[in-house]
Amino acid sequence: MPIVVVAVILIQGFCLYHASQTGRAQHWIYILLLLPGLGSAAYFFVEVLPELAGTRRGRKVIGDVVTILDPDREYRERKAQVELSGTPAAKAALADECALKGMHDDAVMLYRSALTGQFADDPNLLLGLARVLIEKGDFADCERTLDDLRAKNPDFSSQEGHLIYARALEGQGKHDAAIAEYEAVVGYFAGFEAKVRYGLLHLKLGHVAKANEIFDGVVKAFKQQPHHAQALNRDWYNVARRNLEG
């Protein structure tokens, strides 16, 4: 039996099961039975897709599908918004999309163009610029940007900014200063990223026992978390586990 026919039968079976279990209108049953291919497609777009869109996971799935089908859609929309309004918020949104695409120079330029006038000292824009600079690998400029943020906004607090600062120091080989910052940020950072990066620095410096202690703590803490928290922390848990085993 051709694979396409098998796929159509399986999709039809899923749609029939979904329609019967969720109490959909009786006419859908007839449509699905009489028009297996077209009926299943219509059912998916009319009944299943809107239902998915109402859930967090469903919205992510839909967003992933849209991205695969049209990977530049978000970029075009954000670029159009910058051309239309030119606001710092629009520039920051486009800069973040550029960064996702690896267009770090464009992202830096956009953030710097947003940091003018009354927004010259805006902490969120400065943090966004620092985020792009750390991903670009411009560690010294990242450190200067965060120093500038702190000097101009002494009451601003960001665990993400603190972690980026530690990474910027590490990237420049300022290991003692980086360790001090990591030790401070791991005490309150939500999730495992800060702890795992701290462990990786110790591993890089040859402090194997200390690195293993950190990784072991992450692995044990992960196993005690509820499922929803594990879903959020799984990537960094996997990094810790791999390096602990290594």
Would you say residue 18 lies in a domain? yes
My answer on whether 120 and 135 are in the same domain is yes
How many Å apart are CA 108 and CA 114, to the nearest integer?
Answer: 10
Same domain membership, residue 55 and residue 84: no
Q: Is 15 helix (H, G, I), strand (E, B) or coil?
A: helix
Print the domain residue range for 107.
Answer: 70-141
What's residue 214's pLDDT? Answer: 97
Give the residue with greater pLDDT, 197 vs 244: 197
Same domain, 161 and 245: yes
- Indicate whether 13 and 84 sit together in one domain: no
Domain boundary among 17, 51, 69: 69
Residue 167's pLDDT is 98
pLDDT tens, position by position, 167-191: 999 999 999 999 999 999 999 999 9
pLDDT at position 235, please? 93
Look at the chain and report how many structural domains it folds into: 3
Q: What is the DSSP string of 159-200?
A: HHHHHHHHHHHHHTT-HHHHHHHHHHHTTT-SSSHHHHHHHH
Last residue of a domain, one of 69, 98, 121: 69
- Proportion of the chain above pLDDT 90, given as a percent: 65
Measured CA to CA in angstroms, residue 149 lies from 70, 142, 153, 157, 182 at distances of 36, 11, 6, 10, 19
Q: Is 149 within the bounds of a domain?
A: no
- Is the model's pLDDT at 54 over the cut of 90? no
Measured CA to CA, the distance from residue 9 to residue 12 in angstroms comes to: 5
pLDDT > 70? residue 13: yes
